[in-house]
Structure 1
Amino acid sequence: MSKENPEIGLEIDAGGINTNYHDAGQGSGTPLLLLHGSGPGVTAWANWRLNIQVLAQVRRVVAPDMVGFGYTERPKGIQYNLDTWVKHGIDFLDALGIEQADVVGNSYGGALALAMAIRYPHRVRRLVLMGAAGVQFELTPGLDEVWGYTPSVEGMRRLMDSFAYDKALISNELAELRYGASIRPGYQEAFSQMFPAPRQRWVDALASPEADIRAIDKETLILHGREDRIVPPVTSKRLFELIERAQLHMFGRCGHWTQIEHAARFNELVNDFLSE
């Protein structure tokens, strides 16, 4: 991890893509892969900074910047889609020599986690889906604004206010930090390619077929904030209906950032679930 910038961790070649990632803990159990969301300026560290060290107390935790995001390389001509991101996730595990992992996915990362479990079932032991996409839902105004972000400090502040139930969590300094991350060279160009309008098609493109989701036989913990304005709670209720070996935990007074707004309880739930 860079002393100047904690978002910069280690680097590894994952399927030909130089990938920035964080690697913490050891433990003898199943390694844990954390997959971040898709907000502008997001990095694995920004998404999971309150969780990595706690979850790493008893296991190895790895958290990459997925291709197109953060400090991971953005190869010229790459197509940003579910196939590309799932392959990058599997290539990342291969590069680290991890044969099987527990996978936690947040929002867009939840859609990736679902798709990994469907396409590579032997690589995933247990699933944690938090505010997850991955099923069909009507594009929310909040998600439309997130994916349609054009860089400005005011726009970033407005976006971040929509992520959290408790607006006290969002400071001007935090908004300026995330704005700065969103204007790094090449970042906005990549981000604007991912989810251009009309954006309902990208919700649909991240969704896995319901028959495939129903066939998942993994123990699955589903978490969602009741006041989530980005990905509606109905998505997690649908996942709970589809996945036989699932449990659902809904947080009141919580928006899209369960892992930040209720970090201690989130960490406790995930630790207990993965340690069973």
Structure 2
Amino acid sequence: MPQSVADHLIPRTRIVEAGGIPTKVVTAGSGRPIVLLHGSGPGVSAEANWSDVIPDLAEDFQVIAPDIAGFGASLGPEGTAYGIKLWVRQLIELLDALELPSATLLGNSFGGGLALAATLRHPGRVDGLVLLGTPVGTFTMTEGLRSGWHYEPDEAEMRRILEIFSHDPALVTDEMVRQRYEASARPGAQAAFRKLIPEPGPAGTPVKGVPEESLRTIEQPTLILHGREDTVIPLELAYRAARNIPNADLKVFGNCGHWVQLERPAEFRTEVRDFLGRLK
């Protein structure tokens, strides 16, 4: 491979001002732009969710993976009002800063919810959606979400939470635990997550995603990917999304938890490539 092409595929990090937040962004590749939106939870970041995905997708697409405001290295000053309005604004201003009229949004969990919210508010900026383990409608808070809300920096607890997310605990390595723990220990690292979902009650705490009636207005082609054994965002929510988004296809992965991109990487890449290849 020529050196210039190899350099072109190397992920690079930059800081972009978006939504009033100095936003850390990893970019690589060229072609159709695809924005990778990470999930929530202790110690999460774009690199934690997507580092194994970016180089491969960059062979065919322009890949943009930001740390969403309040997560990773994109922490706002003390008192920042984290919430969906800020997150959508940050995403749209990021597209503006990168001079992208529109992009395909690929969101994992909370990132999928953000992708849906951005599509509803700015439909002309989104040409397609890929949703992984994405919450929609109202559902009962799961143990994974409950544990994330109560989390305080502790390596053993970090491992326990990460093992809830993965169907196979062997996927959770010592290095993954260490990196996520260190990121979670930064001041203010939990503030955004605790704005995202309600404080857990004794039992049956409801969590609200994008309402089903709003999903019916989404016209963009949509690919929904979900792990059959996902105990963080139950599989029923994927069926709920597929029933309500008019142009949606659903792929369910067996022996897979909340992290399709990490647990079934080859199939994930194939499904995403095939989907993007069908977009105009």
Please give the TM-score of this superposition, normalised by the length of structure 1.
0.91
Q: 1:203 to 1:8 in 2, by over 3 A?
A: farther
| Residues 33-182 of structure 1 mapped to structure 2, 5 A cutoff | 33-182=35-184
Give the deviation of 1:170 after TM superposition: 1.2
- 3-state DSSP of counterpart to 1:255: coil
Task: Find 1:22's aligned residue among 19, 26, 41.
Answer: 26
| Matching residue of 1:3 | none
- Structure 2: any 5+ residue segments left out of the alignment? 1-9
Residue by residue, what CA displacement relative to the aligned partner does 1:23-70 show, whole Å, maximum 9, x if unpaired? Answer: 10012xx31011000011011011011111111111101010000000
Q: CA RMSD in A?
A: 2.0
For residues 110 and 65 of structure 1, what CA distance do their matches in structure 2 show? 14
| 1:8 and 1:71 in contact (8 A); partners too | no
Residue by residue, what CA displacement relative to the aligned partner does 1:133-159 show, whole Å, maximum 9, x if unpaired? Answer: 132211112221122211111100000
| Residues 229-268 of structure 1 mapped to structure 2, 5 A cutoff | 229-268=231-270
- 3-state DSSP of counterpart to 1:128: strand
| Matching residue of 1:183 | 185
Percent of aligned positions that are identical: 45
| Matching residue of 2:4 | none
Give the deviation of 1:190 after TM superposition: 4.9
Give the deviation of 1:8 after TM superposition: 8.6
Give the deviation of 1:201 after TM superposition: 7.1
Greater shift, 67-76 or 103-112, is seen at 67-76
- 3-state DSSP of counterpart to 1:9: strand
- Give the AA of the match of 1:44: A
For residues 195 and 238 of structure 1, what CA distance do their matches in structure 2 show? 20
- 3-state DSSP of counterpart to 2:82: coil
Greater shift, 154-163 or 140-149, is seen at 140-149
| 2:21 and 2:74 in contact (8 A); partners too | yes
- 3-state DSSP of counterpart to 2:88: helix
For residues 188 and 39 of structure 1, what CA distance do their matches in structure 2 show? 8
Give the deviation of 1:80 after TM superposition: 1.6
Greater shift, 14-23 or 241-250, is seen at 14-23
- 3-state DSSP of counterpart to 2:210: coil
| 1:148 and 1:196 in contact (8 A); partners too | no
